[in-house]
Amino acid sequence: MYLYRFEVDLVDQTVPVIIAARDDDHAFRLVEDELEKHFLKMPREMDIILHEKKRLGTGTGFVLEGEAVFS
């Protein structure tokens, strides 16, 4: 298993998304699942960008810094 760090570029904002998944394809699918749960209306125009993955274990995590968090 891996822990993935994504950024989702929407028309008006960038949203960081963190996902645990077994592989890259699975992770991308789970991002969309999470977005569907999060947004009342699923954004139509978006880019889902995978920036980083780490082996998943106790203590694995990411720091989300800068534009992606505060924009």
In the complex, the smallest distance separating the C-beta of residue 40 from another protein, rounded to whole angstroms, is 20
Q: Is residue 59 part of the contact set for another protein (CB under 8 A)? A: yes
**Which residue of 18, 20, 30, 49 would you call a contact of another protein, by CB under 8 A?**
49
Q: Is residue 65 part of the contact set for another protein (CB under 8 A)? A: no
Nearer of residues 38 and 54 to another protein, judged by Cβ: 54
Greatest Cα-to-Cα distance within the chain, rounded to the nearest angstrom: 35
Nearer of residues 33 and 52 to another protein, judged by Cβ: 52
Q: What is the DSSP string of 14-51?
A: EEEEEEEESSHHHHHHHHHHHHHHH-SS--SS-EEEEE
